[in-house]
Amino acid sequence: MDEKKFHTLVDSSFNLLTASQMSQEHLEQLTKELSHQSNILRRTAESIHSEAAQASKKSVKDITEQILGDFKVARDEARAASSEFRTARKSSFLMFSVIVFFPWLILISFGCWLHYTGKIPTVDNIQRLLQEHAMLSEKIEGIKQEYDIRSCDGRPCVRVDTRRPYGDAPQHYYVIVSEQ
């Protein structure tokens, strides 16, 4: 009977050893598969991160260019209005001088005034230009106060909230972060 127990014990040990080897091989195979899947997941995450960074840079550049364009248009309009106002002021002063200092040119000045009426701004036109200039100046100051506009390598730049992009890939838009 002891011999039968011994053989049963040996057979059980052999079966346990075989099962252990199979489990070890299965575990090694699962480890390799897990490692492979982990590498795929890591590469996918790196790709997503890279694409998100590129999209963010492009969106920031687009927003900055749009804001810069708006500032340039406002600046050009303000300069044009200021230039037109200076021209109108000089013309008005010259007309006044001619009338006051040269009375004999009154008729000639009147004739010139009638002839060039379209080119000499009226008081309403000057008033409209002054209001437009004031409005544009207020808008520019409002934008400067509301947003954190800085100079990045000599170019204007703003902070944006990259947590919530708007728009479809590949072009995303981001909300400009308010200073308040």
C-alpha 174/C-alpha 160 separation (Å) is 6
Name the 3-class secondary structure at 175: strand
Question: How confident is the model over 166-178, as a mean pLDDT?
Answer: 74
Question: How confident is the model over 149-169, as a mean pLDDT?
Answer: 79
Which string of b and e fits 146-156 if b means at least 16 CB within 10 Å? ebebeeeeeee
For the chain, percent of residues with pLDDT exceeding 70: 87
- Asked whether the whole model's pTM tops 0.85, one would answer no
Query: Each residue of 14-43: pLDDT tens digit?
Result: 777 787 788 888 888 888 888 888 888 888
Nearest alpha-carbon partner for 149 in 89, 64, 69, 92? 64
pLDDT at 117: 67
pLDDT at 127: 94
Residue-averaged pLDDT of the chain: 79
pLDDT at 132: 95
Does pLDDT of 100 surpass 80?
Answer: no
Does pLDDT of 10 surpass 80?
Answer: no
Query: Each residue of 107-137: pLDDT tens digit?
Result: 777 767 766 765 667 788 889 999 999 999 9
CA of residue 58 relative to chain centroid, distance: 8
pLDDT at 174: 72
Q: pLDDT category, 98, cuts 50, 70, 90?
A: low
